[in-house]
């Protein structure tokens, strides 16, 4: 799994965002939807994050190469954190049950208020 942080090379207009989304959708169709999340945000001098799964390091490298071809991406500001999901010494891997339990704990206080 890769957590990749991106930075814009420049500001872009609303029309540019539409173009960027279309290009991202084309890329996702081509790569078999390896990206599970792509969001704007802020931190670490970056303003977007992509979370994706790759069957090998070379598949990850190919995806990064494609990302670098996207307009408006500062290719000097692409940073990734790679996670080996097969590593047996993981503290707490992401599972749907962990996510569901977290969401349930967020919901309980609201239910008590009503």
Which residues of the chain have a pLDDT value below 70?
A: 10, 12-17, 24, 27-33, 107-114
Whole-number pLDDT of residue 4: 92
pTM higher than 0.85: no
What is the C-alpha separation between 89 and 80, in angstroms, rounded?
Answer: 21
Rg of the chain over CA atoms, in angstroms? 17
Domains of the chain and any CATH numbers:
2-86 (3.30.70.260)
Average pLDDT, the chain: 79
Strands 46-52 and 79-82: unpaired
């Amino acid at each position: 799994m890769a957590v990749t942080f991106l930075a814009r090379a420049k500001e872009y207009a609303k029309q540019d965002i539409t173009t960027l989304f279309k290009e991202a959708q084309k890329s996702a169709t081509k790569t078999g939807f390896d990206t599970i999340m792509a969001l704007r945000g802020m931190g670490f001098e970056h303003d977007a994050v992509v979370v994706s799964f790759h069957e090998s390091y070379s598949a990850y490298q190919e995806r990064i190469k494609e990302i670098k071809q996207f307009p408006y991406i500062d290719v000097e500001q692409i940073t990734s954190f790679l996670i080996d999901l097969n590593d047996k010494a993981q503290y707490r891997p992401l599972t749907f049950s962990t996510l569901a339990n977290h969401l349930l704990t967020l919901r309980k206080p609201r239910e008590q208020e009503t």
